[in-house]
Structure 1
Amino acid sequence: MEPVIIENDTIEIAGTGVNMTIAFLSDFQRRDADPAFVQRAVDAVNAQRPDLVLLGGDYVENSANELPSIEPLKNLKSKYGTYGVMGNHDYLAFGFARDVGGDVALAQQVIQSLEIPNSSDNGKNDKKPIKILRNEKMIIDNKITLIGLDDLWAHLRDEPKAYSDKENTGYRILLSHNQEGLDIKKETADLYLFGHTHCGQMRLPGLGSVPKLLGFSGDYDKGHFILDDGTHVYTTCGLAPAPRLLNPPEISIIKLIP
């Protein structure tokens, strides 16, 4: 029953100058359009009382018919709100489509579904509208600079645009679905957050990710890494369904410590 388990992965990063708890979720792809699983993940996040929630893309697998599955994301509660980026599946940018770009029409449906708040919410209970970042920055309470990149495989990632938008303030977090091709360095951000890999979904004892053994584009397939220059990189295993082996779906809790 591993594909229906939801685990918490919690890391702490000290010396940030910020006291903040961030919840990070990615790679939903619940093909059956059943919102119950995602609601369980939302309940687990809300129980952590995060200050900020970040979403790493791949909200659907391949169809707008799956949008009811992500409706529970509108129930996320946090002090500063929920921000996300798009993934390749949201653009149907996989396989041969990686060479020609993505389906912008589907992506627009996904964004609209996420950004329209629940009509019954009325701004209560710390629920706030979801905002999808597409090569842009948000300044969070003058403490966090959040950089959100659009999807690489859809040919829409524009780093110069994202980096030039607004001045940086405080601790810098870069959020991108795909880590492939990024120049990861302290000069750009203090913390990089990625989805996309599903941590391989299937992992073998002593060997790790099966896809990585077959040739994975990126160095950071699972969990928390600290680079030589002090940059932090974190890749979540996400919430995608089966197949799963020794690698259940997860929500990720990142605690920034001054």
Structure 2
Amino acid sequence: MKFNMKILFIILIIYMLFEIIYFKEDLITIKSKKINSNFKIIQISDFHDSKLINLKRLKKSIDKFNPDIIVLTGDLINRYTKKYENIENLLKSIEGYKVFFVEGNHEIDNPDKIIYKVLEENNIVNLSKSSVSLNIKSQKINLYGNSFGKHNVVNRKLNLEEYNILLSHNPNDFLKKQEGFDLVLSGHTHGGQVRIPYFGQIVDHGMKFFPKYSKGLYDVSNTKLYIDSGLGQSLPIRIFNRVSYTNITISAK
């Protein structure tokens, strides 16, 4: 029995390492009448200063998809991060692309605020409390950013004839006050980190069991809400929920 338990323990450790090290690419396609020509977004969320991600492999995967823009939806760091080498290396792997960022709770909680200087030095646009209009393949895309929680900016006047995207680290910041965005890209939940097949996330940050919104693509009124499960984690635990990033294609309906 002891021998069997040791084997099971070793298998569990190997499995957990696979889940937190060997990232996968999630693929989604969204159709809209407002879009004339495909445009592509890569979303990276909840990196959490990971030392485990193979950034050469990540760069190769990103270059293969060749996105029009990359969005970083918060928690690049941990609240206690003091060294930024891992973040610098991540940002170097995506240099050359248009990259936009919104802050998560760990950026807000980190006392030294160096992350914002690192982002600026690497030409990353911080949209936490602002917006930008992009011309992508002769079509206008409006990109809006939320900060986290009480720092959230919610009062916006949207042109509903154009395609509007919200970057919001916490999906609940959108769900509490739903606006007429076409697409909302979020993270924060990590998909629960531990999931049960067919049932999903067990418990959320607010200790709510089997939350309705945890990972993947949802229809919320007339908005597509996508929650990325993250490329890292602050605790080294993942079960039935590998670290990942997302390739998003938005195409004509």
Q: In the alignment, does 2:37 pair up with 1:43? A: no
| Aligned equivalents of 1:245, 1:217: Cα separation in 2 | 15
Q: Which of the residues 237, 242, 249 maps onto 1:243?
A: 237
**CA distance in structure 1 between the partners assigned to 2:28 and 2:47 by the alignment:** 21
The Cα shift of 1:143 comes to 1.7
SS in 1 for 2:151: coil
Moved more, 218-227 or 230-239: 218-227
Scaled by the length of structure 1, what TM-score is found?
A: 0.78
Instruction: Please report how far the alpha carbon of residue 29 of structure 1 lies from its aligned counterpart in structure 2 after TM superposition.
Output: 0.8
- Sequence identity (%): 28
Instruction: Write the letter of the residue equivalent to 2:226.
Output: Y
Give the secondary structure class of the aligned counterpart of 1:254: strand
List alignment gaps of at least 5 residues for structure 2.
1-17
Instruction: Give the CA deviation at 1:216.
Output: 6.2
Q: Single out whichever of 41-50 and 233-242 deviates more from structure 2.
A: 41-50
Question: What's 1:98 paired with?
Answer: none
Alignment map for 1:121-132 (pairs within 5 Å): 129-132=123-126
Alpha-carbon contact 2:143-2:165 (below 8 Å) kept: yes
Q: Give the 3 Å change call, closer, same or farther, for CA 158–22 of structure 1 in structure 2.
A: same
Q: Is the 8 A contact 2:22 2:53 kept in 1?
A: no
Q: Which residue of 2 aligns with 1:67?
A: 84
The yes-or-no answer on 1:255 pairing with 2:252 is no
Contact 1:22 1:254 in 2 (8 A): yes
1:232 pairs, out of 212, 224, 227, with: 224
**Unpaired runs of 5+ in structure 1?**
93-102, 118-128
Q: 1:183 to 1:235 in 2, by over 3 A?
A: closer
The answer to whether 1:198 aligns with 2:190 is: yes
- State the distance in 2 between where 1:216 and 1:130 align: 36
Contact 2:160–2:180 under 8 Å retained in 1: no
- Tell me the residue number matched to 1:26: 45
2:143 paired with 1:146 = yes
Is 1:57–1:84's contact at 8 Å kept on the other side of the alignment? yes
With structure 2 as the length reference, what TM-score do the two structures score?
0.79
Q: Deviations over 1:1-48 (max 9, x none)?
A: 2110111111111124142010000001135xx385445434322221
Secondary structure of 2:172 counterpart: coil
1:58-111 CA distance string (max 9 Å, x none): 0111234242111122331565x000100001122xxxxxxxxxx5x53x3111
Match of 2:170 among 169, 173, 178: 178
Structure with greater Cα Rg: 2
Return the alpha-carbon distance in structure 2 between the equivalents of residues 216 and 41 of structure 1: 33
| Pair 1:156-2:156 in alignment | no
**Structure 1 equivalent of residue 6 of structure 2:** none
Work out whether residues 220 and 233 of structure 1, in 8 Å CA contact, stay in contact via their aligned partners in 2.
no
- What residue number does 2:5 align with? none
Letter of the structure 2 residue corresponding to residue 20 of structure 1: F
**How many residues in Structure 1 have an aligned counterpart in Structure 2?**
226
1:6 touches 1:248 (CA, 8 Å); kept in 2? yes
CA drift at 1:203: 0.6
